[in-house]
Chain A
C-alpha cells in the first residue's frame, strides 16, 4: 500500500512553486540574453534600478544594478555625494521583503540550492555553523562599509572591497561570463593574481555550497546580512500563529538555515517549515493578507503540486509570464536607451565620407572626413605617404597594425590635443575614470613615463563622458605630468574601440599605427616595454 502511495520519480522531482519563482526571478534579473551572445553588458536606463537579489551588474545578462556593488560605490563616494538613493532602495527592499528575497528571488541563492542538490554527505547545522553565521556581519562591516568608506574619504579612491576580494557572483557572472565569450578574448590580457585569487575563492565557495546548505548565504553574504537587519519589520514573510503553535520546535529542527526561531534574521522565508508544522501554525503573509496557508494548500512544498491554483493565482501567473515576455523583448530588441555599440574597425574608404560629428564648441572633433580629397581616394592597398606625413596603410581602425583615426580633444589645461600633431612621436592614450580604482592606481605610471621621455612621446588621459565627480576637481590635489581631457561625446572611445571596460591603454608608433590596444591595468615595466616596442 505504501508503495502505491509513494510518488513516482517524476512527481518527486517536480519543481516546487518556490523553485519556479526562483527560476523566473533569475531569468528576469538576467533578461538581456543578447549580452551572452555578443559578450557585452546591458547599458540601458533600467540599470538606474537596483535589483533585490545578489546579481552582478557586469554580468552580460544583467538588466539592473547590484545593490551590494551600488552601496559600496555609494559609500566610497560619500566624500562628495551622499548615497541616499541606494540606502533608500535597500531600506525599501528590507522593509517590504527582507530575507524573503534570499529565499525566493536571489539568483545566487538558486545556484547554491542547485549545488546542494549534488548528492554527497551533508554538513549538518550545529552550534558551530550558527556561530559562523555571524561572519557575514563582520564581512558587511569590514568589506562593504569600512574599507570603501576609508578609501573613499581618505584617498578618494573607490574601492568596492567585497566585489574586489570576495564576491563569487562577480567572478562567475561578470568575470567568467565575459571571458567565456569569444568576442572578449582581449580580456585575457588583464588577468593576473586578482583573478586567480577570486577564481579559487569562487570554486571553494561552490564546494562549500555542495556540502553545506546555502553556505555562502549563511556565512558570507553581506546582502543577506543587510536584509536580516529588517527581520522584525518585514511586510512579506513567514509568520507563526501564536495561538496554534505548540512550541514543538519541529520548524527550527527541520530548517536548513541557522535559525533560532521562524522569521528571525537567519530565516529566508522559504516556507519549508510549513511542511513539518503539525499544527498548521505557519503561513506566508503580506501584512494581514495570507499568501500561503498550509490549511488550504495541503501542507508544504511536498504536496503543493497537487493543489490547483486559485483564480487569482492563475491571473498572477499570467501577468508574471506576460511581464517576463515583455522584459525579454524589451531588453533584447526594443530598449531605445541602449547606448550605441562601439563601431568596429572600418575600411578607409568607408571613413572618407564627410564627417558630421564635428563639434568644436564641445572640444571634441572627429577629423576623418576633413582629410584632403587626394588622400580620401587612397585605396586600401596603396602605401604612398599621405599629405600629413603618415603612411596610409589602407585600414583605419583600432586594431594592432591599423592606423588610428584622427581626433581632437580640448584638455583641462586649455590646450588642444590633436592626434595629427603628434606625428613622429610615440603616442600613449589612456582611458580612465574617477570611479575606476585600477585606473587611478596606474595614472602615476603614465605620468612617470611622460616625464622620463620628454618630447619623444605624446600622451593623453581621457575620461569618458560619464562623470560621477568632476575630474578636474579630482585631479586638483594630484600632480600628473600628462594632459587630461573628457571624451564629451564618446568620439575617442569609439575611435579606440572602447567597450566601456576600464582602464584601456592604446599605444601608437611614430607612424600613427596601433601597436597596443588592450583593456586592463599596466605596470611601469610594461609601459617601458611598450615604449620600446613602439620605437622599433
Chain B
C-alpha cells in the first residue's frame, strides 16, 4: 500500500471517529440533562459546563486531525483519482439556447419584477423583514 494511501485512510478514520465522538457526546449531554430535568423541570438540559467538559474530551482527537490535515496539505497528499475521474456517460447532449429561450427569460424577468413590486405592496416584503430580524429559536434548532 502506498504511503499516501495510508495517510488518506488514517485521516478518514480520524474524521469518522471525530464525528462519532461529537455525536455521542451531544447525545450523552442530552440524556444526562433530560434525566436531570425530569426531576427538576426548571433545570437546563445543556449547560455551558457540560459542553465545555465534552469539548475538552474531544479536543485531543480534534487537534490530532488538524495536525494530520496540516501535514497532508504541506506534503500535498490527495486522493489521486480525485476530482471526478469517474466513468460517466461520455455522450454530451448540448442544449442550444434558442430565440424562444431569450423571450421566456425576458418574460420571467418581467414577471419577477412585477411579483417583487406586488410583494412590497401586499406586505410580504415586510413579513420577510420581520422574520429575519427576529430569532426563531425553533428554526435554528435551539428549541
Contacts and interface: CB of A to CB of B under 8 A. Distances in A.
B105 to A, nearest CB: 5
A211 B125 CA distance: 39
Interface string B101-112: 100110011011
A213 B105 CA distance: 31
Query: Interface on chain B toward A: helix, strand, loop, or mixed SS?
Result: helix
A194 B138 contact: yes
Which of B19, B95, B132 has the most C-beta atoms of chain A within 10 angstroms of its own C-beta? B132
B138 to A, nearest CB: 5
B141 A170 contact: yes
Interface in A258-311: 260-264, 272
B64 interface: no
B84 A255 contact: yes
Interface size, A (range): 35 or more
A256 B88 CA distance: 11
A460 interface: no
Contacts of B81: 122, 124
B112 A245 contact: no
Interface residues of B, number: 87
Nearest to B31: A196
A126 B87 CA distance: 7
B56 interface: no
A118 interface: yes
Given A204-B19, A233-B108, A261-B95, A502 B123 contact: no
Interface string B122-138: 11111111111111111
B15 A203 contact: no
B132 A47 contact: yes
Interface string A166-203: 01001100110011000001011111111111111001
Nearest to B74: A9
Contacts of B124: 74, 77, 81-86
Given A58-B140, A207-B16, A253 B127 contact: no
Given A174-B140, A188-B46, A261-B93, A200 B132 contact: no
Interface in B65-112: 69, 72-74, 76-79, 81-97, 101, 104-105, 108-109, 111-112
Interface stretch (A90-98, A350-358, A372-380, A483-491): A90-98
Nearest to A240: B94
A18 interface: no
A521 B37 CA distance: 14
A437 B131 CA distance: 12
Contacts, number: 332
Contacts of A254: 83-85
Contacts of A255: 84, 88
B141 A70 contact: no
B103 to A, nearest CB: 10
Interface of A: 9, 12-13, 41-45, 47-48, 50, 56-58, 62, 64-66, 69-70, 73-74, 77, 81-89, 91-92, 94-96, 118-122, 124-126, 160, 163-164, 167, 170-171, 174-175, 178-179, 185, 187-200, 203-204, 206-207, 210-211, 213, 230, 232-233, 235, 239-240, 242, 245, 247-249, 251-256, 260-264, 272, 339, 433, 435-438, 464, 466-468, 499-503, 516, 519-521, 523, 525-526, 528-530, 533
11 contacts: A85-B125, A120-B79, A164-B141, A185-B48, A203-B19, A242-B96, A249-B88, A252-B89, A252-B92, A437-B136, A466-B133
For the complex of A and B, the 3 pairs showing the least CB-CB separation, nearest first, are A85-B119, A88-B115, A249-B90
Given A81-B124, A124-B81, 20 more contacts: A44-B133, A47-B133, A58-B140, A85-B125, A87-B115, A91-B112, A95-B112, A96-B109, A120-B8, A125-B86, A160-B139, A175-B142, A188-B51, A192-B143, A193-B34, A195-B143, A203-B22, A500-B134, A501-B137, A520-B143
